[in-house]
Structure 1
Amino acid sequence: MPLPALGREFPGWFQDVEVIARFMGRLHALFGRDFVIGVSDNVLGIAEDLYFVQSDVPDLAKLRNALGTGDVSSPL
């Protein structure tokens, strides 16, 4: 999914990311594997890992900070 410009997120944008992170947390609990949330620029061919899901309850505040999102419509 596209990463919006800082401060220009549409309402609820982070909710989609939150659902993915929580799902990765459930997968971690089931299989004991860590997962990574990152960003990439397909045009420039670069990627960066931003947040590691290493428990069954991801720290959504840290994830929000790593993404640099200002979307606060989703409760933590």
Structure 2
Amino acid sequence: MRVCTLDPITLEDVTDLENAPFIMDGDLKIYFQSEANKCEYLDIPMHGGENSPGLKKIFDDMADCAITGSIN
């Protein structure tokens, strides 16, 4: 099992692993500093895969970005 003690919401290390909320995602255990952070993380919408409209928009936006140039 892999363990992540960096709260993905605050990007701070979780030190009290005995009392910290966590989720299991396959073989990954992710710890959070608070239950509120855990809920916020779980509320983040997933992009839905390679053919999702949300992910396509991200790629399209990057393709038109002056920094990355055109990839079309």
**Taking structure 2 as the reference length, what is the TM-score of the superposition?**
0.22
Name the structure where helix makes up a greater proportion of residues: 1
Name the structure where strand makes up a greater proportion of residues: 1
Bigger radius of gyration among the two: 2
- Of structures 1 and 2, the one scoring higher in RCO (CA 8 A, sep 6+) is 1
